[in-house]
Chains A and B, each alone.
Chain A
Amino acid sequence: MSVIQVQTPGLLTTVQDLGREGFGPLGVSPSGAADPISLRIGNRLVANPEGAAGLEMTLLGGTFSFADGAILALTGSDFGATLDGTVVDPWTSIEVRPGQTLSVGPALSGARCYLCVHGGTAVKPFLGSASTHILSGLGGFEGRPLRKGDVLHIGSATGSFRERTITSQARDRLAPRQALRVTPGPQSSWFSESSLRSFYAATYRVGEQSNRMGLRLEGALVTQSPGGEMITEGVSLGAVQVTHGGLPIILFVEQQTTGGYPKIANVISADIHCVGQLRPRDEIRFEQVTLETARSLLVEQEKLLASAELILE
């Protein structure tokens, strides 16, 4: 079996797939790739099923050696990677010869880069998924971010190498947006007109204490109208909750499954991958759309992802 040897792990590198759905009643959130579109495309570039497990790197990539060689692709943000010193094009599959070393650097833009290998990263699934849930130490590789010296197995791979890349038009259309589109949250009516206006007019800065659980935002305070008393309820991916202090938090892939703060808005499904590319100090805005618009944006996005023209061979 081929392996990936971790020489240096980078800042925060975890095994992720598209997450585990269906365990909300146990308090288990789906987890999964923070930028699922990049993982899906990365897998297609190396002829894997879209949901195969890959490595998610955050802000600073790692160094990995491949004693038996591999076919791999890097997607997501450009982390300036090299293979034995030669620049590696992102969003393009490459063949690694036995003994070669891949060095992934710091993010040139965005926050997350995905390493997908042909055959997928093989870990023991937990509740049907390879995703790491960092907070609870479950899933992925021993339930934790990778460390120096870790050896990960690559799943059985049968295909031969073909260079694949994605069209630049598709890359442009899927590029992360700084204006996140949202639909009204379940408690949006608890906020006054002026609070809602200021929320949608404001530019928010992503706080330093942001992670896969949630992104803390800094900027205009949003105040709740008096009256509503919140009872803890289920929260959805991308919910924008407002704490007592008046600052919004975007709940993300490793979110708490229930919460007791009112939600003013919710990032639409088609823009969730943009949240995964935000880093501390990035500036964002919110743009309200209807449920119908959110739905048609997702349909359009899925059509693009499924189109034959997406991948060039």
Chain B
Amino acid sequence: MTDGARFQPASDQSLLVYFGEKITLDSHQRVRQLLRLLELEPIPGVRNLHPAYCSLLLSFDVLRLSHDELEIILGRYLGRLEDVRLPGPRRVEIPVSYGGEFGPDLDDVATTCGITPDQVIALHSSVTYVAYFLGFVPGFAYLGELPDALATSRLATPRRSVPPGSVGIAGKQTGVYPFATPGGWRLIGRTPIAMFRPDRSGMSFVSIGDMVRFNPISRAQFAALENS
């Protein structure tokens, strides 16, 4: 235990650092602080970092570092987390055309939640979400928390391919699929914004720590944005 953090080997070349066993903004802040510190002062031999809700996975070169050595070095980093200043959150707006072919599960979600489709749209776009981390595929931001009234389970059978730009919800999370991938989240709309573009500075439309809102748009606005 160091500063309330727990270490757990994940493989012979990776180590997990857990900050608590629950999703809280506090533990997430510490994930971000450790990530930031490791980006500013990289540990030689550490090859990759995977931040998540309340954990950070580090993969490393087994020929240069052992788990024990890495834990000792990380102990020193963890002691300095409080001094790590995070950049102020960016505000990001994602335009979404809800329902119809863009949101094939909107009506089901409304029925399950006992409200109308319009209320689903109003609720989903009423909240400012925190981008907890990017994961799964390039540019996929895990956004939370979804209003309790919209909490739904994943599809029993994931779709084999979800169209890029699809806006999905699952549990207390929401997110936008950047690429045509398999997906089990319930789809309620679609954005014309490219979530991940290699030729754009920063590449991902949403970054870790961003404050994200969804803005309902019409089909016509969707088409105009898509062509612009």
Q: Which residues of A contact B (CB under 8 A)?
A: 21-28, 30, 126-127, 133, 135-138, 183, 185-186, 231-239, 256-259, 263, 266-269, 291, 294-295, 298-299, 302
Contacts and interface: CB of A to CB of B under 8 A. Distances in A.
A138 B140 CA distance: 15
Nearest to A258: B135
A25 B35 contact: yes
A231 B198 CA distance: 29
A236 B59 contact: yes
Contact of A234 (B21, B56, B181): B56
B102 interface: no
A28 B13 contact: no
Contacts of A259: 136
B29 interface: no
Contacts, number: 145
A231 B9 contact: no
A131 to B, nearest CB: 13
B129 interface: no
Contacts of A25: 35, 39, 49-51, 133-134, 208
A164 B224 CA distance: 59
A302 B39 CA distance: 28
B23 A231 contact: yes
Contacts of B142: 232, 258
B151 interface: no
B123 interface: no
Given A26-B139, A135-B179, A269-B12, A298 B63 contact: yes
B11 A232 contact: no
B214 interface: no
B138 A26 contact: yes
A7 B50 CA distance: 40
B62 A298 contact: yes
A236 B16 CA distance: 10
Contacts of A21: 47-48, 59
A232 B53 contact: yes
A27 B12 contact: no
B203 interface: yes
Size category of the binding interface on chain B: 35 or more
Contacts of B35: 25
A186 B52 CA distance: 15
Interface in B3-30: 8-14, 16, 21-23
B135 A186 contact: no
Nearest to B139: A27
B135 A27 contact: yes
Given A24-B48, A299-B63, 8 more contacts: A24-B49, A126-B198, A186-B8, A233-B50, A233-B55, A236-B14, A239-B10, A302-B63
Best-surrounded residue of A183, A231, A236, A302 (most CB of chain B within 10 A): A236
B13 A269 contact: yes
A269 B10 CA distance: 12
B52 A232 contact: yes
B50 A235 contact: yes
Nearest to B13: A269
B9 A24 contact: no
B48 A22 contact: yes
B57 interface: yes
A233 B47 contact: no
Given A24-B49, A25-B35, A298-B62, A233 B137 contact: no
B167 interface: no
A237 B10 contact: no
Nearest to A299: B63
Contacts of A291: 9, 12, 67
A135 B57 contact: no
Interface in B114-168: 133-140, 142
B195 to A, nearest CB: 10
B8 to A, nearest CB: 5
Given A22-B47, A233-B52, A258 B11 contact: no
A280 B50 CA distance: 30
Best-surrounded residue of B35, B134, B139 (most CB of chain A within 10 A): B134
Contact of B10 (A186, A256, A295): A186
B154 to A, nearest CB: 10
Contacts of A238: 11
Interface string B42-83: 000001111111111101001100110000000000000000
12 contacts: A25-B134, A25-B208, A28-B138, A126-B198, A133-B138, A186-B9, A235-B50, A236-B14, A256-B136, A257-B50, A266-B12, A291-B12
